[in-house]
């Protein structure tokens, strides 16, 4: 302590002027927080909450139930059997995989566990890469002929599933992005090839087409999937024995380090998506289905386009949901309110973060009025509601949700040319097919009248 006091008294301490602000290096940060400093800043002001955790430092029970395994599928068992074995080994309730592999096919099978199964559909539709062996029925002139034929079979191709496939055998179009010949053995008439293709492509059918194109006939001899989506053979691929050993170590030695190496957090599957970082106070509202609004956004990534699938994350790097962007990066940077994206699939469990909505002055006043009977249980005016509340309060949920009486479609207000109006104004509306239903629009009549918008 004396040494620190001596240093503080003898040396000079001051903030030196610099030409630029010191940058935080986030290039080595994990998963969805990588290059966090390169995201565009909407605001830097928010209240951090102690809830949630870094995906790599979750409690082991949560870690297992929100993770996936990049499994090297063995030959002979079906994909369904392998996934069932994993479920039994890890003692979890739900597992799913990223796309069926035939029993004899080996390679990359992404097995999602519990909460990560919410990403299965997006993984099944991701592109795949394969290395296969094709056997030709007769000899060909040279290796170049086979190489040309393989490269010819690229782009959109017609395919009918093979006889052994467990799907309806109807003609379909699948895209081959790229393919090339790796090696050819003319003595045994075996060719090794690599192909990058759309999900749902049958490589067995591709080999038959290759034989037809060469005029000698051909069939698939062997196949291995080397990439599924963004994960390949070199991305922490493990075997069934690794999973079994990791669970044994945890059960008998209470050592969870092996489980953490075998299982990866679900956020790893989303690292190729554009990111939107939300305030901690907005997280639970999104988990309950609230719209993703601009005031809750902290940071956003460059290159976001309308209708693009993005991932919404917390400040700790946890995935909240997958969403469809409704604004581009340019629009987000120029606006201060509005809906940024619509939810496609919620990933995070509800109440992981505390509930932070309904705490404002209007919401608090509304709750108090409901308790006193001045509003009904849904927060709508009744006979006891003060006139001042009816005039001042606007319930935007109902204003945006107006239903036209005769057509059943949402539309503009009367003053802007309604095709129909509320049940209190029926005499002013032309008869329509749904008039007899006597539907009520969601807007209170007193509000329409006070705004001069009613018929």
Which pair of tokens denotes residue 335?
């606006």
The catalytic position among 25, 37, 102, 376 is 102
The whole-angstrom separation of Cα 412 and Cα 419 is 9
Reported as type and span, the H/E element at residue 240 is helix 240-253
The whole-angstrom separation of Cα 194 and Cα 188 is 19
Query: How long a stretch of residues is the chain?
Result: 455
Residues paired with 68 in a beta bridge:
112, 264
Which pair of tokens denotes residue 57?
């430092």
User: Quick check: is 102 catalytic?
Assistant: yes
Chain-centre distance for alpha carbon 337? 24
Burial class of 56 by CB neighbour count within 10 A (0 to 12, 13 to 18, 19+): middle
The whole-angstrom separation of Cα 391 and Cα 401 is 19
Angle between helix 79-90 and 240-253 (nearest 10)? 10
Long-range contacts, stretch 362-368, CB < 8 angstroms, 24+ apart: 362/393, 366/393
SS3 content of the chain, % helix, strand, coil (to 5): 35, 25, 45
> In the block, which residue shows the tokens 């009486």?
405
Burial class of 165 by CB neighbour count within 10 A (0 to 12, 13 to 18, 19+): middle
The whole-angstrom separation of Cα 266 and Cα 288 is 20
The DSSP result for 104-115, as a single string, is: T-EEEEEEEEGG
Which pair of tokens denotes residue 435?
């008039």
The DSSP result for 11-36, as a single string, is: S---PPP-SSPPPP--TT--GGGTTG
Please say whether the dihedral angle defined by the alpha carbons of residues 426, 430, 435 and 436, taken in this order, is positive or negative: positive
Strand pairing category for 172-185 and 190-197: antiparallel
Which pair of tokens denotes residue 36?
């966090």
Q: Which residues are catalytic?
A: 102
């Amino acid at each position: 302590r004396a040494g620190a006091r001596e240093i503080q008294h003898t040396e000079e301490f001051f903030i030196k002027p610099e030409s630029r602000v010191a940058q935080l290096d986030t290039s080595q940060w994990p998963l969805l927080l990588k290059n966090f400093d390169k995201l565009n800043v909407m605001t830097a002001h928010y209240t951090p909450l102690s809830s949630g955790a870094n995906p790599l430092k979750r409690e082991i029970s949560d870690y297992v139930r929100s993770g996936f395994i990049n499994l090297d599928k063995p030959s002979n068992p079906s994909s369904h059997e392998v996934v069932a074995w994993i479920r039994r080994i890890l003692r979890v309730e739900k597992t799913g995989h990223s796309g069926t592999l035939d029993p004899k096919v080996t390679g990359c099978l992404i097995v999602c566990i519990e909460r990560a199964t919410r990403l299965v559909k997006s993984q099944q539709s991701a592109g795949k890469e394969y290395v296969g062996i094709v056997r030709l029925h007769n000899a060909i002139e040279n290796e170049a002929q086979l190489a040309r034929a393989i490269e010819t079979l690229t782009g959109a191709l017609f395919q009918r599933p093979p006889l052994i496939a467990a799907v309806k055998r109807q003609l379909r179009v699948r895209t081959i992005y790229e393919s090339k010949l790796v090696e050819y053995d003319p003595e045994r008439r075996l060719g090794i090839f690599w192909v990058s293709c759309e999900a749902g492509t049958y490589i067995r059918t591709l080999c038959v087409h290759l034989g037809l194109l060469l005029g000698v006939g051909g069939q698939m001899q062997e196949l291995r999937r080397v990439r599924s989506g963004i994960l390949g053979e070199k991305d922490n691929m493990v075997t069934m024995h690794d999973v079994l050993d990791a669970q044994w170590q945890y059960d008998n030695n209470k050592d969870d380090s092996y489980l953490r190496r075998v299982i990866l957090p679900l956020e790893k599957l989303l690292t190729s998506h554009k990111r939107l970082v939300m305030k901690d106070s907005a997280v639970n509202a999104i988990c309950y289905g609230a719209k993703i609004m601009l005031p809750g956004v902290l940071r956003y990534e460059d290159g976001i386009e309308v209708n693009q699938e993005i991932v919404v994350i917390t400040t700790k790097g946890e995935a909240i949901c997958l969403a469809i962007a409704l604004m581009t990066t340019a629009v987000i940077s120029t606006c201060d309110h509005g809906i940024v994206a619509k939810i496609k699939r919620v990933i995070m469990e509800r109440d992981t973060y505390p509930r932070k909505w309904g705490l404002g002055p209007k919401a608090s006043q509304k709750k108090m009025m409901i308790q006193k009977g001045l509003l009904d249980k849904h927060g709508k005016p009744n006979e006891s509601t003060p006139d001042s509340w009816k005039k001042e309060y606007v319930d935007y949920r109902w204003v945006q949700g107006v239903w036209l009486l005769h057509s059943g479609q949402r539309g503009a207000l009367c003053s802007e040319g309604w095709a129909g109006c509320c049940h209190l104004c029926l005499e002013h509306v032309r008869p329509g097919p749904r008039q007899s239903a006597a539907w009520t629009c969601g807007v209170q009549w007193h509000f329409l009248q006070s705004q001069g918008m009613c018929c």
